[in-house]
Structure 1
Amino acid sequence: MTGPPSPARLYHDQGYVLVKGLLSAGEAETYRQECHAVLARLRGGDPTWGSARALAGRPTELRHCHDAQFRSAAFSRLMLDPRFTGLAAALIGSENVQLHHTKIFVKPASNGSPFPLHQDFAHFPHTRHTVAAAIFHFDDAPEEKGCVRVVPGSHKGGPLPHVEEGGWHLPPARWPLEAAVPVEAEAGDVLFLSYLTVHGSGVNRSPEPRTTLLIQFRDPEDRPADDVHRSRGQGMMLRGVDPAGPAG
């Protein structure tokens, strides 16, 4: 008798995998509080794409910050947690895992901004396509909260042409958000997805915020194709070594 497919098998077949309960409910709550404390100390602008507001059909809001590990040591510890780094290594097929960047995302209650469908590849292309994202959920993310939506198997089609119309995304007429599969999650779950997987998210219509941390990572031998999207922590080794030296 065979068991359920491994996370790595699901990731390679579908382009994403939701890992349930990687963090405990208590850990998720601690990180949720830390995210909101970090954002309360900042005076950041709203990064909502113009195309996202058009998608929502009404004013929406998004709160975020880059380089979370430079704002709080709690996120530095999480980036190096072997529960995360071991999975990351298995998914990209490398013992070595290197940081690309981190972001805190909070969709405020009732009007949290959506994202049109897109591939992360379009924002920071690499040569070997090992780049992946880990989205840590620090509170529940049902569809009502604007959970991530994905197009399973879309990573197998390779890079797709994007348009710059209020953001950098796929043409909405050909790639409607409603056609993507909602990936509802609970606090403590982590969604891993390839940077070639088509994904987006809906409006948070619930009375509670949706709080996540994004960690984007890669095999250190996977070099950037363009000198774009640099971050302060880029190149940090989360697991193993960098056999090729700094990528810049």
Structure 2
Amino acid sequence: MTITSSGADLSTLAQQYTEDGFVLVKGLLSKEEAAYYRQRSHDLLAALNRKDDPTWKSAMGLSDGATRLQHLHDAQFYDAAFSRLLVDPRFTDVAAAVMGVEGVQLHHTKLFVKPPENGSPFPLHQDYPFFPHKYHRVGAAIFHFDDAPEEKGCVRVIPGSHKDGPREHDPEGSFHLPDVPFESATPQPAEAGDVLFFTYLTVHGSGVNVSEEARTTWLIQYRDPGDPPTVKTHDHSLGQGMMLRGVDPTGRSAS
């Protein structure tokens, strides 16, 4: 479901999120803001001299040849511009509404750049097995800093797949879903400034960037502060447990 952020009713967003397991909010950032963050992203990766990371081995079947990917954990600890975006009410109000809670707590962030012509795909998967939580009130927001049409390897989702709960993943294949055809997922082309929100139980992935331009996105994984993790993971993620909206009702330290 696609909804324009201008005047969007939060209850409508929450209803669609509950039904489909995702919602694409159009124009949450302006085109100018998206362009600003795109430049900051590429400048940051260049300044840190980050090299291309290898593609997940489970994604090799989605491409005819070798692909490339750049990514960076915790961009907000390198550039304050990303810290400001983390607590922007335009984002946090939607995150709270779709989870049906008042507080929004940070789990981790990742900056992704799919290079042109051979930007790496991601196989279909749930985020659940990487950091399982007791009540499954965990979600993701993908900020698009440039346009992401199908040829750029946009995100694909299977609407309603969250309703089936946790699925069995292949641990030898980086926790992908080998029995779910990639073609069964619906493409979610986006424009610069759009933000895709989805639950960590929603089956999703993305294709190869075969275009002549990079695809730049920032992923924020967030949770209800009242939903404890069942496995301690992502210990390397700086700032995990930071409150992005509201107050932590549990009073516990970051976990």
When normalised by structure 2's length, the TM-score is 0.93
Task: Please say if residues 223 and 247 of structure 1, whose CA atoms lie closer than 8 Å, have aligned partners that are also in contact.
Answer: no
In the TM superposition, what whole-angstrom CA distance separates every residue of 1:165-217 from its partner, at most 9, and x where no partner exists?
A: 3422111xx21111100000000000000000000000000000000000000
RMSD of aligned Cα (Å): 1.4
Matched, 1:33 2:39: yes
> Alpha-carbon deviation of 1:233?
1.1
Aligned to 2:88: 81
List runs of 5+ in structure 2 lacking aligned partners. Answer: 1-7
> Alpha-carbon deviation of 1:53?
2.2
Task: Please say if residues 23 and 188 of structure 1, whose CA atoms lie closer than 8 Å, have aligned partners that are also in contact.
Answer: yes
Aligned to 1:22: 28
Aligned to 2:100: 93
Aligned to 1:61: 68
Amino acid at match of 1:200: G
Amino acid at match of 1:246: S
Distance across 2 between alignment mates of 1:166 and 1:72: 33
When normalised by structure 1's length, the TM-score is 0.95
**Count of equivalent residues:** 244
Deviates more, 1:124-133 or 1:224-233: 224-233
Distance across 2 between alignment mates of 1:108 and 1:166: 23
> Alpha-carbon deviation of 1:115?
0.6
Q: Which runs of 4+ in 1 moved over 2 A?
A: 42-45
Aligned to 2:4: none
1:52 equivalent among 54, 59, 69: 59
Distance across 1 between alignment mates of 2:218 and 2:103: 21
> Alpha-carbon deviation of 1:52?
1.2
Distance across 2 between alignment mates of 1:101 and 1:119: 16
Aligned to 2:18: 12
Aligned to 2:77: 70
> Alpha-carbon deviation of 1:44?
4.4
Aligned to 1:189: 194
Aligned to 1:180: 185
Aligned to 1:169: 176
